[in-house]
Amino acid sequence: MNIYVKEERILSKKNQTEDHIKYIYQLIESLLMINIFNFLVFVIYVIYNVCKSK
């Protein structure tokens, strides 16, 4: 019984860290998406201004 409880604790700890990793990964992914979007908008804006000034 005791061994079983210890196993459970280890498993739950492992799951927690996996959840943290998933959460951090999602956070990084969303930040990257936002940055890519901003970069695209910036590039389009620059191209637009260059075309306008000519």
pLDDT reported for residue 2: 65
Nearest CA-CA partner of 26 in 37, 18, 16, 15: 18
Write down the pTM of the prediction: 0.48
For tokens 């951090």, name the residue.
Answer: 24
For tokens 């019984």, name the residue.
Answer: 1
pLDDT reported for residue 45: 95
Nearest CA-CA partner of 22 in 54, 3, 30: 30
pLDDT reported for residue 18: 85
pLDDT reported for residue 3: 66
pLDDT for 1-54, tens place per residue? 566 767 777 777 777 888 888 898 998 898 888 888 999 999 999 999 999 987
